[in-house]
Structure 1
């Protein structure tokens, strides 16, 4: 496909210059803005969780046992799918930067609510490194693993400069299948238990990170740093959620 044909078939290029065709300085500035916004979104999420557990810690101890179940898994994954759809549509439209900021802020807040029950569970477990008598909170272990997986996938895309946009339809179909499995788990117990399901979701989240990072390099416009950070944040949050589930499975109650 020629460069002209590529531009004609790229919906991200409809309303402005895409990062791949921008001058080097402008492209670098866009990438920096995207990852700075991603970092700020993660910091905001962590801050909200500290507030929840610091202010409402006693209430959470009373209420959480009644709230836990597949219901939260359904909300979490459903929220991820909706956010991905919104980010994708913003990327192909002239959505204002203010609207993008509102969406990012709303999703960070929603994600903090979705994550709270799993973080509450994790706080009741400890992780011991094999062969060492050292105990860690599963949240810390999951956060470190998430960082290294995300950093490795990001580095792979940046160094290879590969375009993973072909993963879009595949990931979309896989997400619908996963969503169906989660709904079915309400009627057939055991479908999402064990390690196979969370491992599969880690693979799915990793695929989304490849896809989103590739879009940052090749398809987003240089003015879409907020929408790009929103898509990346949704994928990182999904990755952390299921890595934490796996870590908890290998942990013991404190």
Structure 2
């Protein structure tokens, strides 16, 4: 009986150690790939600004985003998944370029862009660090975030089609809160083994950072009188 208990305890310890190694590997690969995709997206956005490329429009943006997101999800367990992530984030960087270029062309635009970048970095590092340090479980936020993002997305489309500035600002404020929650949720999900695929973890965090930046840009632009 004592031998069985020792073997059981050893098996549990090995399983726990393996789980910790797996989690650490996912965290390392996720943040490495996230850093690379953020740099790549910044490069494509910079090229779009330098060449003054026009925005592809709402329809092309949505088709490109959801199409590449679907492709990435399908390829997430293969080497092509990483290539698909770069295609997705590069495309998102390109769509961001004309937006940033617009703000840079305004009187206080440069300051607004820098403030949005600093705010995004501060929120992401702060929330990620908090989740990694405290190791709290934020899985309870999943359902709320899913419903909230869907409603905010539909409201955003309504603000565009019906040209309602107040609704657009409200949506941007909502997205700041929702994307902050998504950063906490996804980081916690990685830590606790809910997300074991670093490709999809990278995509989720990238999308959160992207939407957080564009929402802050919109809000700060309004406050600074750029919009």
TM range (shorter): 0.7 to 0.9
Q: What is the match of residue 237 of structure 1?
A: 210
Residues 19-38 of structure 1 correspond to what in structure 2 (within 5 A)? 22-38=18-34
Work out which of the two has the higher radius of gyration on C-alpha atoms and give 1 or 2.
2
When residues 81 and 251 of structure 1 are mapped into structure 2, their CA distance, relative to the original with a 3 A threshold, is: farther
Q: How many residues align?
A: 211
Deviation at 1:156, TM superposition (A): 1.6
Q: Which has the higher contact order (CA 8 A, sep 6+)?
A: 1
Q: What is the match of residue 7 of structure 2?
A: none
Could you say what secondary structure the match of 2:137 adopts?
coil
* Unmatched segments (≥5 aa) in structure 2: 1-14
Deviation at 1:231, TM superposition (A): 1.4
Q: Measure the CA separation in 2 of the matches of 1:205 and 1:78.
A: 21
Q: What is the match of residue 226 of structure 1?
A: 199
Q: What is the match of residue 102 of structure 1?
A: 83
Residue 139 (structure 1) aligned with residue 113 (structure 2): yes
Q: Is the 8 A contact 2:64 2:91 kept in 1?
A: no
TM score, norm. by length of structure 1:
0.70
* Unmatched segments (≥5 aa) in structure 1: 1-18, 128-134
Residue 40 (structure 1) aligned with residue 36 (structure 2): yes
Q: CA RMSD in A?
A: 3.3
When residues 178 and 86 of structure 1 are mapped into structure 2, their CA distance, relative to the original with a 3 A threshold, is: farther
Q: What is the match of residue 216 of structure 1?
A: 190
TM score, norm. by length of structure 2:
0.77
Q: Measure the CA separation in 2 of the matches of 1:96 and 1:169.
A: 25
Deviation at 1:102, TM superposition (A): 2.8
Q: What is the match of residue 171 of structure 2?
A: 197
Q: Measure the CA separation in 1 of the matches of 2:64 and 2:150.
A: 10
